[in-house]
Structure 1
Amino acid sequence: MNKSIKTGPIMAALLVAGFVGLFSETALNIALGDLINIFNTDATTIQWLATGYFLTLGILVPVTGILMQKFTTRQMFMTSLILSIVGTFLAALAPIFSVLLIARVIQAAGLAIILPLTQNVIFTIYPPQKRGMAMGVMGLVTLAGPVFGPTLAGMILDMLSWHWIFWFTTPFLLFSLIFGFVHIPNVNETRKVSIDMLSVVLSTIGFGGIVYSVSVGGDYGWTSQLVIGTIIVGMIALILFAIRQTKLEQPMLNLQAFRYPVFILGLLMNMITFLNMLSMLVILPMYLQMALLVSAFMTGLIMLPGSLLNCILAPTIGRLFDRYGPRAVITPGTILVAVGYGLYALYGTETALWIMVVTHLIMMLGVGMVLASVQTNTLNALPMQYYPDGIAITQTSQQVSGAVGIAVMVSLFATKQSSYLSGFANDLPGATAAGTSFVFIISFCLAVVNIALSLFIRRPVADLAKEHSVQLQA
């Protein structure tokens, strides 16, 4: 690590911007019911405020790999913050639905840049033996943003209008912009690269098509021609995209990262973790409100201790990773996650609220141990020149798996709920508990798969650490 680089201010500027973007990803969800009436629209249309956000991330994140090689760190950072601020101001002032939707897309474009950029900066300014702690802090932000979104938004909506969800974040974005302008240096090496437009088109159709198809699958039916056709087109586009990357002298996304088994293993674990986590953040509040009959604000309070615990322990978990290696942290974390889902699957309509708090504490501690540690070890497996591509691949897989997880799990939840109601017509709490239990059984099975995968994880070979050291000295 270059001692002339002040890592604290750099991380502060990047992580505040990342937190705001991830907060915005979920904060508006709690207001969607009110916005249906405000904009005189329906649930399918209003859902695009969430779907459009995921869709934009799925389309733009893959492109950031080559953009981080073409433009300087400061250029990428300033572009991200300007997009985030413009999108936030436009959303806060939006008079009609279409303006709010455009604002959400602009916000997501800012987040699509800042997340990969933050990881790339961490892996550039920190040596391998210190990345665990830095990525632990980033993991804190990755978890805290989406989790605190509904909680804080619920508190804001209790006192003010939905516009203040956006006004609330504006001072933080302005702080990040000013702080970053003063402190963030150019830590990446730029080179003359051309952006292959056909690759951009194929990537957009591929990742965008898959995210879109799973996002609308619950509305149109998973067997509808639209959903099946979009998935097929998306998969074909991704295959053509991958083939084209192997033919280009300067690929938009260098797939050489897949030559490293530790990277592939970590990528699979990361996708399972995100799929489970984001779907849990949607299903669990529905269970609390519809089965246990607690308010939206109380739901946020129940989920708050687990989120706070994760925030407090994130740096410590990172230091444990640096000292004892990945398996000592990741395997116990996957076990805690599986225990959490197993307990959730057992609960019905009479579960005490303190039990929900304790279970969520177990769950979030496990997720905190797994998420940042897996991401760190996955990228540590790559040579330094592949960091931008590896980061773009992991970030894209996160967003796509998260969108798939939410869409599929909510659809399974609704199907099980409807099946239950056909036999017990007026028992909505019981139907909700049945749907939740069914979904969490599936999540438990996926969590067990992660336990098995974690047994094969190892610290990347020492040669990569030496390579990183030599390149920094050069």
Structure 2
Amino acid sequence: MGLSRKQIMMLAVLMFGTFVTVLNQTVVTPALPSVMTEMSVDAATAQWLTTGFTLVNAIMIPITAYLTDRYSTRNLFVVAMGIFTAGSLLAGWGPSFPVLLAGRLLQAAGAGILMPMVMTVLMLTFPVDKRGSAMGLFGVVIAFAPAIGPTVAGLIIDNASWHDMFFIIAGLSALVIACSLFVLERTSAPDKQTSLDKPSVVSSSLGFGCLLYGFSVIGSYGISVQAAIATVVGIVALVYFFRRQLKMENPMLQVRVLLNRKFLIGTIIGMLVQASLLAAGILLPIYLQSLMGYSATVSGLVILPGAIVMGAMGPIAGRLFDKHGPRVLSLVGLSMLTITTFAMAFLGDGTGIAYLTILYTVRLFSLSLVNMPITTWAMNALDNTLINHGTSVNNTFRQVAGSLGTAVLVSIMTIATNAGSSSMDYVHANIFGINMAFAAAGILCVVGLGLTIAFVKDKPGETAKTDVDNARRSVLESIMKRDVYVLDADATVIDAMKLLVDKHISAAPLVDNAGNAVGFVSDGDIMRHLSKRSQMYVDPVVMIMQMGRDSTDFDDKLRDLMQMQAKDIGAKGIIGVDIHADLPEVCRVLGENHLKKVPVLDDGHIVGVINRSDVTQYSMKSYLESEQPA
């Protein structure tokens, strides 16, 4: 990576701290059945360990922006990890459920500060040319930790107890704090002028908290005066919170971005998906451990393949989004999510582990096709000046939806279980309740699918609607190269080679008769077909896999290759940027797809090419001009 020894040590501490906190988010679900048994609480009460954690995380998102401005990054990192460690110790001790829940909420407060903090430290500490390597490793940690969390937790619970699981997390957190004191540097000075709007913090915390509590109590025990009062207080507090944000010049949460219809629809779809996702993480361990008698380890292993697939699909989904746009991916993803969610509403006492593992894995795969495209589509609808606010609002609302949705679905499970207990035994009544909860989650997915069909479009030219006065277009037109060399869609490989050699270029897009880009062929595609490739085949006699080396003569391979069509060896479809895209979007497409250049499209037609060097030179020139004295 070309990092110094101190930078490597700093990156290691940051990644280790992030790993511990992200791991902590998923270790609780396999422990829920054990907690319910030891503390004699029902699922509606136990789910607060997950929904309460998520809710506090959501509340901390807008507060963290103030904290990062007010305090130095190293001090805030140490304090955040300290709060997280204290919460872990309290949860590990946990003699009663209220104490355990208090520990989880403390963990959430620390973790809620930590994640944005780590991003800030990385961006301020590492130079621009090394941030890519640092962020790449950081992304691997974020994807890997939640994947192994349930399995690790299951092993600890089966061989020790859930108390020991929290103590281990506390020990790892303390180690992070000790290392950070020696490794991390103060990367920013405190801004004493920064202020926090305390009424907004109180009203948002009170509103979301009371609403969550009211829904949980009503679902578990029916309508009561206590639950009704909590719900009303929550609604009133949230109305006050939103009205205050709309009146403030610098609100804690810029809810005005919800006036943008595309952003609002994208946020709602994301909220529905998040509610369905988190609820399944609670319902499945209860079904496997409490009802079917499987160990916590088995419960974690059922979840593991899906979590790995979801983490691995992140960059792949980004590449597919760049090729096909949001509509196709989100429609496919939400359709699969709806089908698999309804399929989980038919669990029985004889459902096999293999079937359940495959079903859950496909379900998480479908989620990976929805999350990134919908979020990107929603963000692209906002003006550049509102992107940061949009990210904060989107993340906050998704976290809140996860908490409220889980509370509602677990309440549905409780109501259905109680209704079925009069005619069924304990196990079958609870399975019926879980099935009804998954059926309700399926309905949420249907609503999300309907919104996607009606509103999520990727028609050419949509980006232009957010490009006020063609400002973005003017920037791209000023730095892109207009001399674009293209190939006919039916061109042969020899035609492609002639163009690449004559024009001294490394790749060229393929266009149809209407001038639309339909593919891409590069010198790398040609090299791959000329190389000596190893092939795998099955020996029909001994029925084992064998490796065979391609021994075809180079001249013969070259002769055969020249007669092929370029579209048969090149990439299907094309990754490009809209003429109205902003520079951050151009950088994202270039970086995530590891490209040196990317075509610029206007209504599907190629009008130019933009290189990495073009963006770099423009950025340097703009910066130097802005630094010149007036």
Structure 1 counterpart of 2:20 = 20
* 1:142-153 aligned within 5 A: 145=146, 148-153=148-153
Structure 1 counterpart of 2:437 = 439
Structure 2 counterpart of 1:212 = 213
Structure 2 counterpart of 1:104 = 104
Q: Which consecutive unaligned segments of at least 5 residues does structure 2 have?
A: 473-580, 586-614, 624-630
AA aligned to 2:218 is G
Which has the larger share of helix? 1
* 1:107-126 aligned within 5 A: 107-117=107-117
**Quick check: 2:10–2:183 contact (8 Å CA) kept in 1?**
no
Greater alpha carbon shift after TM alignment, 82-91 vs 7-16: 7-16
**Quick check: 1:83–1:106 contact (8 Å CA) kept in 2?**
yes
**Quick check: 2:33–2:286 contact (8 Å CA) kept in 1?**
no
Q: After superposition, give the CA deviation of every residue in 1:327-347 in whole Å (9 maximum; x if it has no partner).
A: 343332222211211321234
Counterparts of 1:135 and 1:372, CA distance in 2: 17
Greater alpha carbon shift after TM alignment, 297-306 vs 114-123: 114-123
* 1:8-47 aligned within 5 A: 17-31=17-31, 34=34
Decide whether aligned partners of structure 1 residues 411 and 92 sit closer, same or farther in structure 2, where only a CA change above 3 A counts.
closer
Q: CA deviation at 1:121?
A: 8.3
Structure 2 counterpart of 1:331 = 331
Higher Rg: 2
Q: CA deviation at 1:105?
A: 2.6
Structure 1 counterpart of 2:281 = 281
**Quick check: 2:212–2:404 contact (8 Å CA) kept in 1?**
yes
Say which SS state the counterpart of residue 168 (structure 1) adopts: helix
Counterparts of 1:42 and 1:413, CA distance in 2: 15
**Quick check: 2:143–2:311 contact (8 Å CA) kept in 1?**
no
Q: After superposition, give the CA deviation of every residue in 1:394-450 in whole Å (9 maximum; x if it has no partner).
A: 232222211222221112112222322312x43x34333322332222222221222
Greater alpha carbon shift after TM alignment, 24-33 vs 99-108: 24-33
**Quick check: 1:318–1:373 contact (8 Å CA) kept in 2?**
yes
**Quick check: 2:80–2:110 contact (8 Å CA) kept in 1?**
yes
Q: After superposition, give the CA deviation of every residue in 1:241-286 in whole Å (9 maximum; x if it has no partner).
A: 1111222232222223224333212211111011101111112223
**Quick check: 1:305–1:361 contact (8 Å CA) kept in 2?**
yes
Counterparts of 2:371 and 2:175, CA distance in 1: 27
- Are 1:465 and 2:582 counterparts? yes
Say which SS state the counterpart of residue 252 (structure 1) adopts: coil
What is the aligned length?
Answer: 463
Decide whether aligned partners of structure 1 residues 303 and 432 sit closer, same or farther in structure 2, where only a CA change above 3 A counts.
same
**Quick check: 2:51–2:404 contact (8 Å CA) kept in 1?**
no
Q: After superposition, give the CA deviation of every residue in 1:297-321 in whole Å (9 maximum; x if it has no partner).
A: 2222222221222233333223333
Counterparts of 2:428 and 2:261, CA distance in 1: 45
Q: CA deviation at 1:110?
A: 1.0
AA aligned to 1:194 is S
Decide whether aligned partners of structure 1 residues 243 and 11 sit closer, same or farther in structure 2, where only a CA change above 3 A counts.
farther
Say which SS state the counterpart of residue 27 (structure 2) adopts: helix
Structure 1 counterpart of 2:517 = none
Decide whether aligned partners of structure 1 residues 327 and 80 sit closer, same or farther in structure 2, where only a CA change above 3 A counts.
farther
Greater alpha carbon shift after TM alignment, 75-84 vs 9-18: 9-18
With normalisation by structure 1, the TM-score equals 0.80
**Quick check: 2:154–2:299 contact (8 Å CA) kept in 1?**
no
Greater alpha carbon shift after TM alignment, 391-400 vs 56-65: 56-65
Q: After superposition, give the CA deviation of every residue in 1:23-79 in whole Å (9 maximum; x if it has no partner).
A: 4345345445655786x7755877665565345335433433444455565555444
Greater alpha carbon shift after TM alignment, 175-184 vs 226-235: 175-184
Q: CA deviation at 1:377?
A: 3.9
Counterpart selection for 2:449 from 443, 448, 451: 451
Counterparts of 2:37 and 2:356, CA distance in 1: 32
Q: CA deviation at 1:359?
A: 0.8
**Quick check: 1:135–1:372 contact (8 Å CA) kept in 2?**
no
* 1:54-453 aligned within 5 A: 54-71=54-71, 74=74, 76-92=76-92, 100-117=100-117, 141=142, 145=146, 148-170=148-170, 173=173, 178=179, 182=183, 192-221=193-222, 223-289=223-289, 292-423=292-423, 425-426=424-425, 428-453=426-451
Decide whether aligned partners of structure 1 residues 336 and 32 sit closer, same or farther in structure 2, where only a CA change above 3 A counts.
closer
RMSD: 4.2
Counterparts of 1:402 and 1:313, CA distance in 2: 21
Decide whether aligned partners of structure 1 residues 10 and 262 sit closer, same or farther in structure 2, where only a CA change above 3 A counts.
farther
Decide whether aligned partners of structure 1 residues 16 and 373 sit closer, same or farther in structure 2, where only a CA change above 3 A counts.
farther
**Quick check: 2:53–2:108 contact (8 Å CA) kept in 1?**
yes
Decide whether aligned partners of structure 1 residues 369 and 120 sit closer, same or farther in structure 2, where only a CA change above 3 A counts.
farther
Decide whether aligned partners of structure 1 residues 347 and 95 sit closer, same or farther in structure 2, where only a CA change above 3 A counts.
closer
With normalisation by structure 2, the TM-score equals 0.62
Greater alpha carbon shift after TM alignment, 331-340 vs 451-460: 451-460
Counterparts of 2:292 and 2:94, CA distance in 1: 35
Q: Which consecutive unaligned segments of at least 5 residues does structure 1 have?
A: none
Which has the larger share of strand? 2
Counterparts of 2:619 and 2:72, CA distance in 1: 18
Q: Which has the higher contact order (CA 8 A, sep 6+)?
A: 1
